[in-house]
Structure 1
Amino acid sequence: MISKGIGRQIVLHYFIVVFVTLLLVEIIFLFAIRTYYYDSIYNHIANHAALVTDNFQNSDKSEVQEDKAFFTNIISVFSLANTELQVLDRHGNIIMTNSSFQSDRPVQTSDLSQALTNNIGKWIGREPDTGEMVMSVSSPIQLLGENKYVIRYITSMEPINSKLLNITLLAALVGVVILAVVLLFSMGLANSIVKPINNIRAVSAQMARGRFDVRVKGEYKYELGELASTLNYMAQEIVRGNQIKDDFISSISHELRTPLTGIKGWSETLTSGGFDPEETKIGMQIIAKETDRLIGLVEEMLDFSKLQQNEMKLVIASVNLKEILQETMLNVWAKAEQKRIQIKLDDHTESAVMVPGDGNRLKQVFLNLVDNAIKFSTEDSWIHLDIRTQDEWAIVEVIDSGIGISEEHLRRVKDRFFQVNHQGGGTGLGLAISQQLVELHNGEMEMRSELGVGTTVNVRLPLLDELNKNDA
């Protein structure tokens, strides 16, 4: 007995479908067999009865006598084996029969009325006197063009019905055997489906309890295989995500501790007194610098949180990308000078490049990209900011000649919390935030890199349409 569940449903559905199909087939088969037998008997008798009609059709022979000898001759000439032959008058009265039993009641079945209208009549029913199932076939006898008499053949259908009953029982037995085979087959099929489902369910239950080291084992086909692969991939991604978060917590703790240590140290030092104005100024500058660094870290995490919760609000206006890039260069100029990195703007356009967007957020994107380029570039290298238009797009490329990114890391570099170099500082959120900000502007951001050669970040933003340009 199959317990409640999908297995029982599979078996039940298979069984119902096969049972209904088999039932319809057997009904059609038995109906066809019955029709074949009944029609065979009727055709045999009807063909014989037609000879009577043809023999007496429009007969005008003077020697035909309507007496006992005449009817006896009909009985003897046109009789059939195992079939009663009756000669009736127009009113259904039996004039003569080859049966030892003769009813006094007139015949009133439908085959008589059909025969009197020049047709061969047929009737199937129970004989009133015996209760036996019979078939009667009637044909008219014409004398001088008039239907004066009717010959009526009556044959018992009990032997045929007995054969049909045996065939029905045999068909039912075959049906039962087929249903038993289908039941066994469907149970096997159900087990082949339910077993891997139970395995997947058991593994998922362990994952729900926090055990992400378990995996669905076994090679399953089709949708079950895809489900198992998806579950394993989910567990793998959760483990990877947890590791990234652990790394992020470790990294952000270090990032927060460093400026806090500097602020605390200089605060205590300045509080103790005894410093000249120049030293006090240096201490205050360090405190201000570290405070700005803390504010930047917090703002970066707040921005990421807003993006994740779809709470980032953009102030959309007409933005000149060239001005944004020039401001970006000015903001990072001092940092680039410390590593003797040359930053150059390559302008391939003849006019202003206007895009719809939030100027502050777009500046945040390019500041992050250029800052990363500076961070991972060697001394005495260069960074190019390339701007051009193509069709309906404004394209900005940040190209550096830095250390580059390996193919393995390039696939994950835009993931949240991911850092190629944990010693480089930061939260690992910069590129993830930049990617989402570009997408909020209906743009695209792609990265190409070669280890030891450099990295190119391609940002595509939709141009401001002509109507908005005119309005601006």
Structure 2
Amino acid sequence: MGARLQVERPGTIMKKGMRRQIVLHYILVVFLALLLVEVIFLLAIRTYYYDSVYNSITTHISAAEEFYQKYQLTNENSPFALEELLDSFELSNTELQVLTLDGKMITNSTGFQPDRTITTSDVPEAVGGSIGRWVGRQPGTNENVMAVSKVLQIGGRDAYVLRYLTSVEGINSNLFNVTLLAIGIGGAVMAVVASFSFGLANSIVKPLNNITAVSAQMAKGKFDVRIKGNYRYEIADLASTLNYMAQEIVRSNQIKDDFISSISHELRTPLTSIKGWSETLISGGYDPEETKLGVGIISKESNRLIGLVEELLDFSKLQQNEMRLSMGAVGIKELLQEIVLNVWAKAEKKQIRLVLDAEEGLVVYGDANRLKQVFLNIADNAIKFSHEGSDIMIHAYRLFEDQVEVVVSDTGIGISEEHLARVKDRFFQVDSLNGGTGLGLAISQQIIELHGGLLEMESELGQGTRVRVQLMLADAASGTINTEEKMEGTE
């Protein structure tokens, strides 16, 4: 990781890194969500309190107006009309003002007769036909008040504006207390969230720090170290993957070491024979038969060396995607007959019978030499690991309309399930005592894949092995594969 992540001791600043980002983002998200909830809650509480006062006044107005219109006894122009009006519409703890339609105060329930005009928005709203409402500060006293106004009709015409004025200081005080309580609760929630976010960050960062430390050791070549800990979810997958990587590297190194040891032996043996016979022949004094035998051994061991080197070169080309295929029509039956002739002498030494059963007219699109290399390797392995006097069956038949399958099966020693999963890995050898580089099947696999085919193996220890190779028929392949495309794919 680019920056080591650590929680500092109290009194220090938390270093930048994943832990800090997790904590800050988590707190920020919760803070914004909490702020939104509290704002909505406080607005709802304020609206509820203010609407309760407003609804109480409007309900009183409606009831008083109904009573006043029904039982009004005093004439509108009577000197007692305004007094009766105040008595009929008066509401406790609320100042009632009687205004003209243009907002000039006529009288009020407090007994004071200020000569002033009301200019707040509730009066025009009432004159317009609705119940006016205004919340603000009372001029002079600077007190928070709510005003509710309504036009009173007398005799079918608008006569006065009844304006109720009540203090909302108590409501605002309650709202302030609720706000403080909400802030306190929010602060407590944020403290819990902060503690939880630190725990969450540590649960992520500490395993990552451990994994990073172990990975650094692996990068230095210490592949025997492993990531330990009971991790969960994606971190557990990451730890498992790195442990598996280290295990595979160890295995690959072991295979590489075994390969080097094996190939050194494979190269030394023929070189020793060549060197020995060369020195013997140089000394002279041997009859023609002995000379012929020595030259034959030198030729045989030279061919063996050439085969080993060519196998290594093929593997190198495949690894670097430099192998070029010379594609063309290849008759499967003819190719397999040639394979049988090539390995017949080796099979005869172990008294193994080769049985070929191939359909006529099966033609695939591929590189004849490379396919021959594949089937020679498969047949050679079958002979190598078969019992004396056993049979090796080679079948070739049309699998689908566009595919042919070649099956080579034996009743030899077989391969264990553990080794079967790795038998096509490079450098892997089931039995290193049998010689070879351990590259034959790995090369064969890649050659078949370059042909767009499939190579699969089935085996049971002590029962034998069955190798299946699937290739595309020439008629089907000609439209989708050509030499230029295959060469581009391997360059």
**TM-score between the two structures when normalised by the length of structure 1:** 0.94
Q: CA deviation at 1:6?
A: 1.7
Contact 2:64 2:88 in 1 (8 A): no
Q: Percent identity?
A: 61
Structure 1 position 363 matched with structure 2 position 380: no
Q: CA deviation at 1:3?
A: 3.3
Residues 320 and 269 of structure 1, relative CA distance in 2, 3 Å threshold: same
Greater CA drift, 275-284 or 322-331: 275-284
Distance 1:298 1:192 in 2: 54
Q: Equivalent residues in 2 for 1:22-421 (5 A)?
A: 22-55=34-67, 63-347=74-358, 349=359, 351-391=360-400, 392-421=402-431
Q: CA deviation at 1:101?
A: 4.6
Residues 405 and 144 of structure 1, relative CA distance in 2, 3 Å threshold: same
Structure 1 ranges of 4+ moved more than 4 A: 59-63, 466-469
Listed as ranges, the gaps of 5+ residues in structure 1 are none
Matched AA of 1:107: I
**Deviation digits for residues 366-400 of structure 1, max 9, x if unmatched?**
00000111112232222111111122321111112
Distance 1:55 1:267 in 2: 139
Distance 1:44 1:198 in 2: 65
Partner in structure 1 of residue 440 of structure 2: 430
Distance 1:311 1:103 in 2: 106
Matched AA of 1:361: R
Q: CA deviation at 1:127?
A: 2.0
Partner in structure 2 of residue 447 of structure 1: 457
Root-mean-square deviation (Å): 2.0
Matched AA of 2:420: L
**Deviation digits for residues 298-355 of structure 1, max 9, x if unmatched?**
11111111111222222222221111111111111222222222212012x3x31111
Contact 2:65 2:89 in 1 (8 A): no
Distance 2:417 2:477 in 1: 43
- The size of the alignment, in residue pairs, is 467
Q: CA deviation at 1:466?
A: 5.5
Listed as ranges, the gaps of 5+ residues in structure 2 are 1-7, 9-13, 483-491
Give secondary structure in 2 for the equivalent of 1:293. helix
Distance 2:443 2:478 in 1: 28
Residues 211 and 467 of structure 1, relative CA distance in 2, 3 Å threshold: closer
Partner in structure 1 of residue 487 of structure 2: none
Give secondary structure in 2 for the equivalent of 1:408. helix
Residues 133 and 180 of structure 1, relative CA distance in 2, 3 Å threshold: same
**Deviation digits for residues 198-244 of structure 1, max 9, x if unmatched?**
22111111111111111111221111111111111111111111110
Contact 1:50 1:120 in 2 (8 A): no
Distance 1:60 1:92 in 2: 27
Distance 1:188 1:60 in 2: 74
Distance 1:193 1:453 in 2: 51
**Deviation digits for residues 260-297 of structure 1, max 9, x if unmatched?**
11111122222222223332222222111111111111
